[in-house]
Structure 1
Amino acid sequence: MALPGNLQPLRVLAASLALSMLLSACAAQRGGAGVAFAPAPGPGPAAPVEVAVLAFNDFHGNLEPPRQSVGMPDGQGGTAQVPAGGAAWLATALDALRARHPLSLTVAAGDLISASPLASSLFLDEPSIEVLSRLGLDYAAVGNHEFDRGTRELQRMQAGGCEKLTAREPCQLERFAGARFRYLAASTLTASGTPLFPASAIRTFGSGAAQVKIGVIGLTLRGTPMLVNPAGIAEVTFADEADTINAEVPKLKAQGADAIVVLIHQGGKQTGAPDPNGCTGLAGEIEPILARLAAGVDLVVSGHTHADYICEMPTADPARPVLLTSAGLYGKELTEITLSIDPAAHRVITRHARNLIVQSQAFTSARGPVALSPLVPGYAPRADIAAYVQRYVDASKAYATRPVGKLSGPADRGEAPAGSTGGPLAHLIADAQLAATRSAGAQIAFMNPYGVRAALVPAADGTITFGDLYLVQPFGNALVTETLSGAEIKAALEQGFDAVGPEQVLAPSAGLVYRYDRRQPVGSRIVAITLNGKPLDSTASYRVTTNGFLALGGDGFTVFKAGRGQVTGPSDIEAFEALFRSKTMIDVPGDARTIDAGG
């Protein structure tokens, strides 16, 4: 039967295919001689997969713009100050970066909560956890401040619920659902030796031949017990950072991780003019950790020092430096990191990072107005985050807007390069603590500079509100008055210069003056101390007041733990408010109480 004309070509094609198959079979029988047919080309090697890691650290519950700036080169040899921060602005910046990067991971390096402004801390930082979840955070390392209210309250931050574990009521405005991001705590070990939270996690991107996996390890600094109330962490221990990371890397590699990212709440600081993307003279406690890292870690996102930097740092393998980043603090900056990963070779080919300033609202600082800058893009606040934050701001206003007194002018906290002194504000706080504890026999008070969290800037008429005070001192530490000898006081001051941790020049109350000289050996850098114009007697006893954090040896000032006859007084914020209520106008201290004898 003849085929229709339009099917005749098919018959020709079928015959041709049959002949080809016959020739091929014959060739195979003759050992491959005859007509050869090239195999169909297979798929080529998969192209590198680019994944963006979007990172920040030390958010500290700053839901609103913190009225602080970020310094950056102005392009003319000077420094520009850019107003930055605020959760709604951070949300918009993250959204913009995700629009540019189809594959992305959002991470944080600890201290997301506690030491927070009133709108967050009044509500046990529940709104901050909710906001960070809405921002799309994926993983966060625990920081030391995550333990400020104890391990059980931190576990509630992850799991949610309304169990009352502190003096303040939970779930005041809504039921707390817990974090929708995952805390990681590789080095925080329970009595059984297992981590308090997972040590690490793996996230898969892409599919098929273009699939890559990123392993994430999260941990905090080993020195956390020196930085928090010991009672809250009695059931956990903190392991060595480098040992912990090195033990976790092969586990992630065995699970197929093509890249390893470490989130660690430890860091360093660079020197020189402010540069968010610089790495000038970087030094700090992160260095010895990195120097001991075994091969396999590609990126370290760091925090704790509240500094910003982008660095290539050496590790135990000289041929494999690691990329180190930090984004300052309070959500004022965001690090955009791109990892280009070869899915066939299972390794990172290239990596790049830059810190972006989250420019938000102009404000007035202790040094004057800080205007919006044309040097960097501005962001609009994301409406849903702004509305959520405003709900908690409104709920806290009864506390925040209550006037407490008047201040003669702005009091700064020792801006760079004097950030380790606490500035006039730390002296004012010490004066308040001395006045509040004279009934316990106090003769001297000391304030730790890094406990001063913001400058104190009055309104045009000098008015200071409770919210202003709370920005400065959000910890709620009880004051402790104890007896120390003159020799012990000197030893405590020496610990601020002992090269163990960041330098801190303890701020004394009025009447005590000391001179220090960094050229002298460690342990001999305090060269003179006077109290009310007379040399401090090393053998005499003095009543000394500090906040409870210092009294427990916080910030490395372990001498204070040896105090005798301890009396617990009011909280630091109560003492500060009482000072403002004691006079019509409080003057900013202008006297020199700590003097650099070495120039």
Structure 2
Amino acid sequence: MPAAPRRTRRRTYAFLGATAALATAAALAAALPAQAHQDQGRHPLPSRYQDVQLLSFNDLHGNLEPPSGSSGRVTELQPDGTTKTVDAGGVEYLATHLRTAREGHPYSITAAGGDLVGASPLLSGLFHDEPTVEALNKLKLDVTSVGNHEFDEGARELARLQNGGCHPTDGCYTDEEFQGADFPYLAANVLDEKTGKPILKPYWIWKKKDVRIGFIGVTLEGTPNIVSADGVKGLTFKDEVETINKYAKVLQRQGVRSIVALVHEGGFPASGAYNYDCDSPGAGAGISGPIVDIAKNVTPAVDALVTGHTHAAYVCTIPDPSGRPRMVTSAASFGRLYTDTTLTYDRFTGDIARTAVKSANHVVTRDVPKAPDMTDLISRWNTLAAPIGNRAIGYISADVNNTGTESPMGDLIADAQLAYGRELDPKTSLALMNPGGVRAGLTYAAKGAEGDGVVTYAEGFTVQPFANTVNLQDFTGAQLVQVLKEQVSGANAAAPKILQPSAGLTYTLDLTKTGADRVVTDSIRLNGAPIDPAATYRVATNSFLAGGGDGFPTLGQGTGDLVGGDDLGALEKYLTAHSSPTAPLAPPAADRIAVVK
């Protein structure tokens, strides 16, 4: 066995205590006349204010290569009020943009808002996101919060991403052992049930000379509702506001007065344009969603919030509990944007001069040189992935889009799971697919040498990267109707999650109504027949839904459970059986749900 390679020296993270030197230096600087600050031209004292650059992004989801289709574009508002789309994203370009942005800024921090890994394309996901962590190290990321997708493979795997080591079942992918993240993952509100303590660091302090800024990282309290039960087993997720306020006091006791919260929870801006003026007056302006209440209740001791989760782009000021405006930002997703925020640090108080804070989102355009080190990284991992990723698994006649209340891609997956379910049990009646599990569509004009209309394993993996199983359960007709109503009520009342139905299941969704009434019960049909409340229906779902995930508790109450193979395998089997080079598969019409607006 060859000798293990020497590990490179890793950064060591320590929590910094208070220092009297900061206040002393600030007071001296303020008291001296201007000419004395030069100290006879040899050792100039710092001015009272120091601009600190905060570069941030969120929800990268392992998208190292430029995302395709709509996932790789952003909407840009033009001066005349029109909009245009701009191709964006790709870590080769993100690296170039961040490195350029840092030029001339000796005080610069790079932070992220979670979901940097998980639900990743094959290039990263096939290797349990080691390539993405390696890329983030090269990007000089300083700190990030955890997101819900950091728990897709459980807390132990998250700890491995932080600390390094070979994968427990797959082993090492290269001759060198995985080094882990050079940056800290912060998980202040994620506690071990047994110890009651955070599973990772709750906060981290950035320091340069006499400037110190604390970072607190949290993910959404509702993570257990949107992650498989195995991924969060043994963990407790606490309230975001209470947790941030708790650790803000901890930082203050250490003399840290400048604080940024990294919050993996987000909002919904009134406009889809990344450069929309969120603070503009008038109807239709502003932002809504969970982050608004969080921002309004987080202690005024926190100076800015970097957020994520909703994949939206916004730069907004939301008043803190004292009524002072506070910056809240999000940079969309997939590395298409980054946010550049200027925090003006007051050496006299040790705090951020809130009135001087400014921020803007910037497009990661593809008209800049690629970062060579990122190109090498992508090439190296692509070489390892190519034998698997380039294998053809089907053929399509046109784009299979993942857009709309009911999407062609969602319907295709549901059809595939129904077909697979009937292989396991011919009595299978229907299949339901959660929209959040459909991560992309299939593009007809494929890239590279694979040819138009060819669906490769890598493309299928991008669509369904979670490695769920296809499960069968029995439900009564009354339970099935309740499942459909749970799409728009209960946990999903504010943000409906419309399940993608297999062929044969039809109904009307009336969006002019509220709550569960939006599902028109009398319209529900299976193969043209009304649902019988007393009858038993065999239903195929993925394992995430079968456990009641995504706010569907009734789906966790099925009987006669049968666990099948992985969901991507079901899609592959369906595409192989229903398409060929001469007879490609046409996209489903997405006409199973009649939507009334």
Partners of 2:421 and 2:504 lie apart in 1 by 16
Match of 1:194 in 2: 197
Q: Structure 2: how far apart are the matches of 1:241 and 1:404?
A: 43
CA contact (8 A) 1:285 1:501 kept: no
CA distance in 2, matches of 1:83, 1:151: 35
| Matching residue of 1:250 | 249
1:77 counterpart letter in structure 2: G
TM-score under structure 2 length normalisation: 0.86
Query: Are 2:431 and 1:425 aligned?
Result: no
Deviation at 1:591, TM superposition (A): 4.7
After TM superposition, the structure 1 stretch with the greater mean CA deviation from structure 2, 576-585 or 429-438, is 576-585
- Aligned mates of 2:500, 2:559 — CA distance in 1: 21
Q: How does 1:328-347 map to 2 (within 5 A)?
A: 328-347=332-351
Partner of 2:548: 553
Give the Å deviation of 1:100.
3.3
CA distances 1:33-84 after superposition (whole Å, capped 9, x unpaired): xxxxx99985499331000111011111111111211111133432211111
Is the counterpart of residue 457 in structure 1 residue 443 in structure 2?
yes
1:56 aligns with 57
**Most deviating of 273-282 and 532-541:** 273-282
Tell me, in whole angstroms, the C-alpha distance in 2 between the residues paired with 1:85 and 1:285: 26
RMSD: 2.0
Q: What secondary structure is seen at the aligned counterpart in 2 of 1:496? A: coil
Among 324, 327, 333, the alignment partner of 2:328 is 324
Instruction: State the distance in 1 between where 2:352 and 2:339 align.
Output: 18
Report the CA distance shift for 1:111/1:596 in structure 2 as closer, same or farther (over 3 A): same
Q: What secondary structure sits across from 2:515 in the alignment?
A: coil
2:406 and 2:590 in contact (8 A); partners too: no
DSSP-derived class of the 1:300 partner: strand
Is the 8 Å Cα contact of residues 77 and 273 (structure 2) preserved in structure 1?
yes
Distance change >3 Å, CA 531–CA 282, structure 1 → 2: same
Q: Which residue of 499, 506, 515 corresponds with 2:508?
A: 515
Q: Is the 8 A contact 2:187 2:200 kept in 1?
A: yes
Asked whether the equivalents of residues 277 and 355 of structure 1 are also in contact (C-alpha less than 8 Å), the reply is no
> 1:137 pairs with 141, 146, 149, which one?
141
Q: Which residue is equivalent to 2:497?
A: 504
1:489 to 1:388, Cα distance in 2 relative to 1, 3 A: same
In 2, Cα distance between equivalents of 1:329 and 1:347: 30
Shift of 1:277: 4.3
CA distance in 2, matches of 1:39, 1:271: 49
- Residue 169 of structure 1 and its aligned partner are, at CA, apart by 3.8
SS state at 1:497 partner: coil
In the other structure, the counterpart of 2:525 is 530
Residue 539 in structure 1 maps to residue 534 in structure 2: yes
Instruction: Please show how residues 20-39 of structure 1 align to structure 2 within 5 Å.
Output: none
Return the letter of the residue paired with 1:445. Answer: A
- Per the alignment, residue 359 of structure 2 pairs with 353
Aligned to 2:289: 284
Measure, in 2, the Cα distance between the counterparts of 1:154 and 1:295. 31
- CA–CA distance in structure 2, aligned partners of residues 39 and 259 of structure 1: 27
Alignment match, 2:173: 171
Does 1:149 pair with 2:153?
yes
SS of the residue 2:268 aligns to: coil
Q: CA-to-partner distance for each residue in 1:63-117, whole Å, 9 max, x for gaps? A: 1111211111133432211111111111111101110322111111111111111
Partner-residue secondary structure (3-state), 1:388: helix
Q: What's the offset of the Cα at 1:474?
A: 1.0
* TM superposition shift of 1:172: 4.3
**Alignment partner, residue 46 of structure 1:** 47
| Matched residue type, 2:188 | A
1:461 shift after superposition = 4.0
TM-fit CA distance, 1:542: 0.8
* Cα distance change of structure 1 residues 275 and 233 upon mapping to structure 2, 3 Å threshold: closer
Distance in 1 (CA, whole Å) between partners of 2:351 and 2:459 is: 49
- Structure 1 position 183 matched with structure 2 position 185: yes
Aligned AA for 2:410?
A
> Shift in Å at residue 260 of structure 1?
0.8
Q: 2:478 aligns with which of 465, 470, 487?
A: 487
**CA spacing shift, 1:510–1:301, aligned 2, 3 Å:** same
- The 5 Å alignment of 1:391-410 reads 391-410=380-399
8 Å contact 2:286–2:316 — kept in the other structure?
A: no
1:418-455 alpha-carbon deviations (Å, 9 max, x no partner)? 3xx25111111111110111132321111111221112
The answer to whether structure 1 residue 91 and structure 2 residue 75 are counterparts is no
Note closer, same or farther for the CA distance 1:518–1:251 as it changes in structure 2 (3 Å cut): same
Q: What is the SS of the residue equivalent to 1:100? A: coil
Deviations 1:12-34 (A, max 9, x none): xxxxxxxxxxxxxxxxxxxxxxx
Q: State whether residues 487 and 499 of structure 2, in contact with CA within 8 Å, keep that contact through their aligned partners in structure 1.
A: yes
Structure 1 residues 552 and 186, CA gap change in structure 2 (3 angstroms): same
Amino acid at match of 2:576: R
Is the 8 Å Cα contact of residues 258 and 341 (structure 1) preserved in structure 2? no
Pick closer, same or farther for the CA change 1:451–1:281 going to 2, 3 Å. Answer: farther
Instruction: Give 2:428's aligned residue.
Output: 442
1:388-421 CA-partner distances (Å, limit 9, x unpaired): 111001211111111112112101101xxx3xx2
Partner letter of residue 555 of structure 2? F
Counterpart amino acid of residue 155 in structure 2: T
Name the CA distance, whole Å, in 1 between partners of 2:465 and 2:348.
50
Q: Would the aligned equivalents of 2:411 and 2:590 in 1 still touch at CA under 8 Å?
A: no
1:228 maps to amino acid: V
Partner of 1:261 in structure 2? 260
Counterpart Cα distance in 1 of 2:493 and 2:247: 27
AA aligned opposite 1:121? G
Q: Which residue of 1 aligns with 2:16?
A: none
Q: Of residues 561, 569, 577 in structure 1, which corresponds to 2:572?
A: 577
Contact 1:123 1:169 in 2 (8 A): no
- The 1-side partners of 2:546 and 2:104 are apart by 49
Q: Distance in 2 between matches of 1:40 and 1:430?
A: 71
Asked whether the 8 Å contact 1:512–1:531 carries over to 2, the reply is: yes
Which amino acid is 1:93 matched to?
Answer: H
Gaps of 5+ in 1: 1-37, 361-377
Mapped contact 2:272–2:312 kept (Cα < 8 A): no
How many Å separate the matches in 1 of 2:562 and 2:122? 28
Contact 2:342 2:359 in 1 (8 A): yes
Q: What are the superposed Cα offsets for residues 477-509 of structure 1, whole Å, 9 maximum, x if unpaired?
A: 101111112222222222221254532211100
User: Residues 225 and 173 of structure 1: is their aligned pair in 2 closer, same or farther, counting only changes over 3 Å?
Assistant: farther
Residues 526-580 of structure 1 deviation map (CA, whole Å, 9 limit, x = unaligned):
1121111122122221111111111112221222101111111121111111111
Count of aligned pairs: 532
